[in-house]
Structure 1
């Protein structure tokens, strides 16, 4: 129970990665507030947390509404005597829109796709971070985690997606600068491909919409992807790191934290390191056979990964 007594908030936790994070935080002993727009799915997640022996408090909150966010933090402040130890900015509403518009260029889609992808993501992350930081700074400790992706480094899905993820990364980096002397850390976390409910529906299912079809190689990567709880395992280990402040302002992939803490996914599988030369070779049809001869410890510098964009 390494996080016993911690007060945590995970936004967008009624399913997917957010749900997985909430499950792992609660298993570690934390009291976890979770948000979402649908009462039914929120209660289902809370019930699953309770069945595992954790404590979860579901709160209906529309992350596009500033008043809802303000009321959420006011409630936590009153119920927990002003304490908040960990905020995970995970709320996101763009997955279905991304796949329904798969293959379309930015000028071929309605401009409102920007708001669909980035209001419940980027904008709400900033607002939640403001309220959380006020509580954390007052106590001189805390951790803010932005759930982002490799789309912040190289083209992935579409223009609004990439810009939003790059901004989430930059937000964590810049928040860390202003929070450093206050004992509060901020990081950005890139999960690998995750086999969530929506990915199963829009990518892996035989009934997936035609417009959502993706290359077979990428489909295979998702089929063998991380569990939704993998990011939660990583965040629990990060939160209890005695050198947490030295990590503030950094961008981590789940495989980075797996390597740092020696952890595996909840199903026992090793967490795939997408930066290894061995893995990257497996994604290149004509030279994939070379991967069996390459040691797994050889990694590509992250800034070079966009050069391989055409192979994914």
Structure 2
């Protein structure tokens, strides 16, 4: 119960990574506000609801509070933060996870569409991917920062992915994720003097309810290969709990943090007891490249320097 008494907000938490994070924060004793739309195209088919997540948070030992909020609507977002401020006068942890594009991205990837081939007008697909997944993260962070700066402490976590460093899925996805990473870095720069941290978290390939459902419908080899041994949503949740408990969190502020690396640092495993490989581990990279024999004799602690990944994504 290391986070007992803490006030947290996880956006987009009716299912998937958001639910995994919210439930783990609840298990650590926090009061967790969770948001989601009252209905979504996925809900009727995939299942999962805000009430179910809130009940699970409470059952784990925390306090789950479900708030219906469409993060594409600025006024609803504003009212959400006004409610938290009215009820508690502070916010300790914000996790920007809300994302409305998973189904659209997977379907477009399965069809092999390039950015000029998406169905409908170009701006429509861009907004599906980045209106909630990028613009809303900025808005939520601004409201959260106002409360955090007043009490000189707080943590903002932006959920992103390796699509911010390499080409992944499609152009709109990569641009959005790269922008989230830069946003975290710049926000951290402005927040540091107020003792507020802002980080980006990279999960691996996560087997969410939406992904599991879509894989049953789609026969795309790339998608199945990407998610065949995916992480659970709770793995990311344990990483966020570790960050929220970190007494030296400002040392990480502004950085991109891999969930698999945080697992080793904070000493946790996935829900099935497995320790997931880091993208920086040499044996993991060799295995993905097809050199399984060589990978088997390389110890886990042999890693590529993270600056090499940064250099690969550099445009200079």
For residues 214-270 of structure 1, the C-alpha deviation after alignment (integer angstroms, 9 at most, x for no partner) is: 32xx62452321111111101111111111111111110101211221221122111
> How large is the Cα RMSD of the aligned pairs?
1.8
User: Does the residue aligned with 1:106 lie in a helix, a strand or coil?
Assistant: coil
Match 1:104 to one of 102, 113, 122: 113
Match 1:92 to one of 91, 99, 114: 99
Task: Give the superposition deviation at 1:272.
Answer: 2.2
What corresponds to 1:293 in structure 2? 297
Report the Cα distance in structure 1 between the residues aligned to 2:50 and 2:183, rounded to whole angstroms: 28
User: Does the residue aligned with 2:71 lie in a helix, a strand or coil?
Assistant: coil
1:149-298 equivalences in 2 (<5 Å): 149-203=161-215, 205=216, 208-210=217-219, 213-215=220-222, 219-285=224-290, 287-298=291-302
Assess if the C-alpha contact under 8 Å between 1:63 and 1:69 holds in 2.
yes
User: Does the residue aligned with 2:49 lie in a helix, a strand or coil?
Assistant: helix
TM-score in terms of structure 2 length = 0.91
Aligned length: 300
Instruction: Name stretches of at least 5 consecutive residues in structure 1 with no aligned partner.
Output: none
Task: Give the superposition deviation at 1:199.
Answer: 1.1
- Superposed structure 1 runs of 4+ greater than 3 Å apart: 302-309
For residues 67-103 of structure 1, the C-alpha deviation after alignment (integer angstroms, 9 at most, x for no partner) is: 00000000000011x2100000000011111011111
> Which has the larger displacement, 256-265 or 296-305?
296-305
Assess if the C-alpha contact under 8 Å between 2:28 and 2:61 holds in 1.
no
> Which has the larger displacement, 146-155 or 47-56?
47-56
Report the Cα distance in structure 2 between the residues aligned to 1:283 and 1:306, rounded to whole angstroms: 19
User: Does the residue aligned with 2:296 lie in a helix, a strand or coil?
Assistant: helix
Matching of residue 71 in structure 1 with residue 83 in structure 2: no
What corresponds to 1:10 in structure 2? 10
Report the Cα distance in structure 2 between the residues aligned to 1:132 and 1:214, rounded to whole angstroms: 41
User: Does the residue aligned with 1:9 lie in a helix, a strand or coil?
Assistant: strand
Report the Cα distance in structure 2 between the residues aligned to 1:177 and 1:166, rounded to whole angstroms: 17
Instruction: Name stretches of at least 5 consecutive residues in structure 2 with no aligned partner.
Output: 40-47
TM-score in terms of structure 1 length = 0.92
Report the Cα distance in structure 2 between the residues aligned to 1:244 and 1:308, rounded to whole angstroms: 27
Assess if the C-alpha contact under 8 Å between 1:10 and 1:35 holds in 2.
yes
